[in-house]
């Protein structure tokens, strides 16, 4: 199985982005709101998605050395974006929202997340992209325990941070 995965696509990828050309700021203090769960799936099935805590760890490691402060909240867990904005005072808000998912034998195999960057001062979206979390056949990555239970998705979170970092740098925002 390892040999067959060697020629696969990257497990997490970004194809293209849409940047507001008039926006000239770089990200500095970012509140990341995570809503990567589906009400249509069971709690066990929802364990196939990357978690806010894993995203927090990866983005802090990726962006901290560049001087970007990051706070991550999980909207699906009932955390309030309004309270986080009041206490953290972000310059930008990066919303990560589940767009679509694909099941394989009742467990999450692949999914798509909308990533949208809002400038807090102007309250307008300045950047947007779609992040693909590719399935087992395409990427070689398993997102479930075989029984659909919880496993770590830190690799997905690390790949997400790497893909976002690369695209934000390419687009002149980081």
Domain of 124: which CATH number?
3.40.50
Please indicate, yes or no, if residue 104 is contained in any of the structural domains: yes
- The pair of structure tokens assigned to 72 is 């991550």
Please indicate, yes or no, if residue 58 is contained in any of the structural domains: yes
Please indicate, yes or no, if residue 108 is contained in any of the structural domains: yes
pLDDT at 4: 39
pLDDT exceeds 60 at position 149: no
Domain of 53 in residue numbering reads as 16-170
Please indicate, yes or no, if residue 5 is contained in any of the structural domains: no
Each residue of 4-38: b (16+ CB within 10 Å) or e? eeeeeeebbbbeebebbeebeeebeebbbbbbbbb
Q: Where is mean pLDDT largest: 11-20, 27-36, 146-155?
A: 27-36
Please indicate, yes or no, if residue 6 is contained in any of the structural domains: no
Please indicate, yes or no, if residue 42 is contained in any of the structural domains: yes
**pTM for the predicted model, two decimal places:** 0.91
> 71 pLDDT band (50/70/90 cuts)?
very high
Please indicate, yes or no, if residue 4 is contained in any of the structural domains: no
pLDDT tens digit sequence for 81-122: 999 999 999 999 999 999 999 998 888 899 999 999 999 999
């Amino acid at each position: 199985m390892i040999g067959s995965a060697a020629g696969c696509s990257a497990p997490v990828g970004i194809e293209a982005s849409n940047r507001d050309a008039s926006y000239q700021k770089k990200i500095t203090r970012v509140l990341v709101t995570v809503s990567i769960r589906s009400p249509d799936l069971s709690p066990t099935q929802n364990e196939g998605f990357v978690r806010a805590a894993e995203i927090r760890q990866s983005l802090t490691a990726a962006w901290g050395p560049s001087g970007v402060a990051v706070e991550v909240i999980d909207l699906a867990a009932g955390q309030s974006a309004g309270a986080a904005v009041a206490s953290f005072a972000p310059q930008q808000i990066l919303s990560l929202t589940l767009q679509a998912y694909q099941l394989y034998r009742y467990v999450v195999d692949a999914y798509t997340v909308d990533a949208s960057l809002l400038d807090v001062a102007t309250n307008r979206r300045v950047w947007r992209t779609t992040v693909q979390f590719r399935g087992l056949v395409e990427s070689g990555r398993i997102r479930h325990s075989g029984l659909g239970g919880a496993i770590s998705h830190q690799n997905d979170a690390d790949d997400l941070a790497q893909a976002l970092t690369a695209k934000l740098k390419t687009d002149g925002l980081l």
